A = this chain, B = another copy of it.
Amino acid sequence: MAKLNIVQAINLGLDQEMAKDDSVVVLGEDVGVDGGVFRVTDGLHAKYGEERVIDTPLAESGIIGTSIGMALAGLRPVAEMQFSGFSYHIFHQLEGHASRLRQRSLGQRTVPLVVRMPFGGGVRALEHHSESREATYAHLPGVKVVIPSSPRNARALIVAAIRDPDPVIFMEPKHVYRAFREEVPETEEVMEIGRSEIVQEGSDLTLVAWGAMMRPALRAAVEVQNARKVSIEVIDLLTIAPMDSHTIVESVQKTGRCVIVQEAPKTLGIASEIIARINDHVLLYLEAPVNRVTNYDVVTPYFGRELDFTPDAGRIQREIETTLDF
């Protein structure tokens, strides 16, 4: 069992699935010889050759449009968008085809496609390298969206995504790509898509986060627990769509209070949907408004100002306290 970071863990998952199933192919810009700009596909080109690890021309719609064709013809393409900020070119192929072909053909045609994309801020890169737009994809029926938060669940989710019969948007929180290591077993681990995880049990407040926000969220939870006699239940969303309302709703029913941490802008983010589901199912259990700690509805700032906008542990802590004190 090796201690891996998220980049290595995804790489391991890809490698193992490729070894097992030669219908799995990897494609994208610079994923081959270069091993991907973040090195997630490092070594795969050397190991599996250029027919299976394909350096494509620079055209995202082309990458996903052809991946859809490959998937229709029985391959299991794992396409990389170099950054989620360049994934919008594929929206019509996702909305118009990947998400629809199953229903269009009443199950006769399927698109087992994985679209990997690093997303979110924190790497001091150029414009378009720091958005968090999972909600844009999660609003599309027929598309699954998953976001790992640690090396171990990243490996287990990429394997699940590859084996999944549907298009899966696999969003990689690049801020924590190399932030920490975790033991990742060599042997197979698959995590069910469509399930959230309670990473810490508690009874006074439910704290929901995903991706890179898990770390400041957990830090904030610890701070609050150190400062007051409360216990906080922390949920890692993991699957964004189709969402696991059940786990959240049950937790809020127990705690009566909820804070949601979201790196994306406020309006129409995942947090809004979570609030709507809490409203649907357990409104009467709420002892305070659900509190969403989010980015602001401004155009994603360049990195010089980025950190002033991103939710951090301090702000999360304050909002947890506000919610507890409500």
Q: Please, which residues of chain B bring their CB within 8 A of the CB of A173?
A: none
In whole angstroms, how far apart are the Cα atoms of A264 and B249 in the complex? 23
Q: Please, which residues of chain B bring their CB within 8 A of the CB of A103?
A: 298-299
In whole angstroms, how far apart are the Cα atoms of A91 and B90 in the complex? 9
In the complex, the chain B residue whose C-beta lies closest to that of A291 is B280
Contact between A127 and B104 (Cβ–Cβ < 8 Å)? yes
Among A136, A276, A289, A299, the one with the most B-chain Cβ atoms within 10 Å of its Cβ is A276
Take A96-B88, A128-B96, A283-B286 as given contacts and tell me if A141 and B297 are in contact as well, using a CB distance cutoff of 8 Å: yes
Q: Please, which residues of chain B bring their CB within 8 A of the CB of A265?
A: 139, 141
Contact between A139 and B133 (Cβ–Cβ < 8 Å)? yes
Nearest-neighbour CB distance to chain B for A302, whole angstroms, equals: 8
Q: Please, which residues of chain B bring their CB within 8 A of the CB of A142?
A: 299
Contact between A276 and B297 (Cβ–Cβ < 8 Å)? no
Take A139-B133, A298-B141 as given contacts and tell me if A273 and B268 are in contact as well, using a CB distance cutoff of 8 Å: yes
Task: Please tell me which one of the listed residues B139, B273, B289 contacts residue A283 in the complex, with CB atoms under 8 A apart.
Answer: B289
In the complex, the chain B residue whose C-beta lies closest to that of A103 is B299
Determine if A53 is an interface residue (Cβ-Cβ < 8 Å): no
Q: Please, which residues of chain B bring their CB within 8 A of the CB of A268?
A: 135, 138-139, 268, 270, 272-273
Determine if A275 is an interface residue (Cβ-Cβ < 8 Å): yes
22 contacts between A and B (CB under 8 A): A88-B91, A89-B91, A91-B92, A99-B299, A100-B299, A104-B127, A133-B139, A138-B267, A139-B267, A139-B269, A141-B265, A141-B300, A268-B268, A268-B273, A272-B272, A275-B275, A275-B279, A276-B276, A276-B290, A276-B292, A279-B290, A283-B289
The 6 lowest CB-CB distance pairs between A and B, nearest first, are A88-B92, A272-B276, A139-B268, A103-B299, A91-B91, A283-B289
